[in-house]
């Protein structure tokens, strides 16, 4: 048995070397040993240890362009991407695009909290250095506002219709009973989201500019690696593009807040680490809070349940999904309310300082 395992391991090693040798040839890198970790390969070679990653070719040109742009703007906390001997930043092979990086040791030198804090500080720097203003047509802004408002109104109509449907029954299902208990909280979140959207539009409807930055696209501690000196670097820029900073912050929060109910003060600390370095303008904060508060995930579970009402469905699984999305809603609500409170306090302090200065 041991001999068979060794034979299999030797064959696998030879196959990996055969697979990666032609990909690494344009870099003049000769692999001695290869380990695969999903889409990532760890290459032990004549020139050191590297990370080789394969991606969809359609993402290749934008990805490398944005990385080079960040380097040009002075942002160097990106895991370097090595060019081939003829200057290319990726190699197309067997319908995949491969790019080569150094292999970082990524030893945890910080606590869980500190690592996130450092990541958000670096994210703010990335957004600052790549920040620019773009022209937004008033018609486009108005169209975005009206379409979003229409979606919110449709969601409210659905909630009202679904609760009427549930309450008209003599015997509700466990899912329907749970929804009726949660209805008020879901509705309040939707109203808050709509009100912040309306405030944003009133403040910006005459504006012709908006601020955008290069966004990473998938912020995560797994994509923030440490070198042997303890410096943190971003990797995995395949989804990088220009957009509002919230496009980095919101998905991260949505993932981080998917827990059992808790007052997640860590998330608030991380957000204000970011805001202290890259303060959002008032209109940006209004839109950020509108999107953050929106109870989309819990509404989608209810819509899916309603569509499957006449079909055979797993009541227990649907009820569990509703419970988990409601936990996300309440965790998000705590963060939204704390940020809203902090921003109101800051505004009040600023107004008081301005009044005192005017009196002097």
User: Do residue 91 and residue 122 come from a single domain?
Assistant: no
User: Do residue 183 and residue 241 come from a single domain?
Assistant: yes
Q: Does residue 12 belong to any structural domain of this protein?
A: no
User: Do residue 156 and residue 85 come from a single domain?
Assistant: no
Q: Does residue 310 belong to any structural domain of this protein?
A: yes
Task: Give the helix ranges, DSSP H, for the chain.
Answer: 2-24, 60-72, 112-129, 138-167, 174-204, 246-256, 265-277, 282-293, 296-307, 315-359
Q: Does residue 4 belong to any structural domain of this protein?
A: no
Question: What H or E segment, with its residue span, contains residue 42?
Answer: strand 40-45
User: Do residue 56 and residue 179 come from a single domain?
Assistant: no
Total domains in the chain come to 2
Tokens 């390969």 belong to 41
pLDDT at position 8: 46
Give the pTM. 0.90
pLDDT at position 38: 86
Q: Looking at 102, 134, 154, which one is the last position of a domain?
A: 102
pLDDT at position 131: 96
User: Do residue 69 and residue 119 come from a single domain?
Assistant: no
SS3 state of residue 73: coil
Distances (CA, A) of 110 to 175, 213, 221, 225, 232: 43, 28, 12, 12, 10
Hey, which residues does 91 pair with through a beta bridge?
A: 98
User: Do residue 172 and residue 61 come from a single domain?
Assistant: no
**For residue 243, what are the domain limits?**
112-359
pLDDT at position 99: 94
User: Do residue 75 and residue 220 come from a single domain?
Assistant: no
Q: Does residue 273 belong to any structural domain of this protein?
A: yes
pLDDT in tens, 5-54: 444 455 567 888 889 999 999 999 999 999 998 889 999 999 999 999 99
Give the sign of the dihedral formed by CA 115, CA 120, CA 123, CA 124.
negative
pLDDT at position 235: 93
Q: Does residue 8 belong to any structural domain of this protein?
A: no
Query: How many CB atoms are closer than 10 A to CB 222?
Result: 10
**Tokens matching residue 260:** 């059992």
SS3 state of residue 27: helix
**Tokens matching residue 82:** 């090595």
| CATH assignment of the domain containing 269 | 3.90.1200.10
pLDDT in tens, 196-220: 999 999 999 999 999 999 999 999 9
User: Do residue 67 and residue 204 come from a single domain?
Assistant: no
pLDDT at position 185: 98
Q: Does residue 1 belong to any structural domain of this protein?
A: no
Q: Does residue 13 belong to any structural domain of this protein?
A: no
User: Do residue 96 and residue 211 come from a single domain?
Assistant: no
Hey, which residues does 102 pair with through a beta bridge?
A: 50
Which segments in the chain show pLDDT lower than 70?
1-12, 59-61, 109-110, 310, 360
Q: Does residue 7 belong to any structural domain of this protein?
A: no
User: Do residue 38 and residue 156 come from a single domain?
Assistant: no
Instruction: Confirm if 212 and 244 have CB atoms less than 8 A apart.
Output: yes
For 280, phi then psi, to 5°, come to -80, 140
140's CB contacts (< 8 A; 6+ apart) are none
pLDDT at position 190: 98
């Amino acid at each position: 048995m041991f001999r068979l395992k060794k034979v299999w391991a030797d064959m696998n090693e030879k196959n990996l070397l055969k697979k990666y040798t032609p990909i690494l040839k344009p870099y003049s890198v000769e692999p001695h040993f290869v380990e695969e970790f999903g889409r990532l390969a760890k290459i032990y070679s004549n020139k050191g240890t590297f990370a080789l990653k394969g991606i969809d070719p359609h993402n290749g040109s934008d990805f490398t362009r944005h990385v080079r742009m960040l380097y040009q703007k002075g942002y160097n906390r990106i895991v370097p991407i090595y060019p081939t001997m003829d200057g290319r930043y990726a190699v197309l092979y067997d319908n995949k695009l491969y790019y080569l990086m150094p292999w970082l040791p990524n030893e945890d030198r910080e606590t869980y909290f500190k690592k996130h804090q450092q990541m958000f500080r670096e994210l703010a720097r990335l957004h600052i250095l790549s920040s620019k203003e773009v022209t937004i047509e008033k018609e486009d802004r108005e169209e975005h506002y009206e379409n979003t408002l229409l979606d919110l109104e449709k969601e409210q109509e659905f909630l009202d219709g679904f609760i009427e449907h549930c309450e008209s029954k003599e015997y509700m299902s466990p899912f329907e009973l749970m929804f009726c208990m949660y209805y008020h909280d879901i509705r309040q979140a939707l109203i808050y989201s709509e009100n912040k959207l309306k405030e944003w539009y009133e403040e910006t409807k005459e504006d012709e500019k908006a601020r955008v930055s290069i966004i990473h696209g998938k912020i995560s501690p797994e994509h923030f690696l440490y070198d042997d000196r303890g410096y943190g670097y971003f990797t995995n820029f395949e989804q990088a593009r220009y957009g509002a900073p919230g496009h980095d912050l919101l998905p991260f929060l949505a993932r981080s807040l998917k827990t059992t109910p808790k007052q997640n003060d860590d998330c608030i600390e991380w957000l204000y680490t970011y805001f202290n370095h890259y303060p959002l303008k008032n209109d940006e904060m209004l839109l950020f809070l509108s999107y953050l508060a929106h109870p989309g995930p819990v509404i989608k579970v209810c819509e899916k349940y309603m569509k499957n009402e006449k079909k055979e469905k797993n009541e227990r699984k649907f009820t569990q999904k509703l419970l988990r999305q409601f936990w996300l809603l309440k965790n998000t609500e705590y963060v939204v309310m704390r940020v809203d409170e902090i921003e109101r306090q800051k505004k009040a302090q600023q107004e008081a300082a301005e009044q005192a200065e005017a009196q002097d």
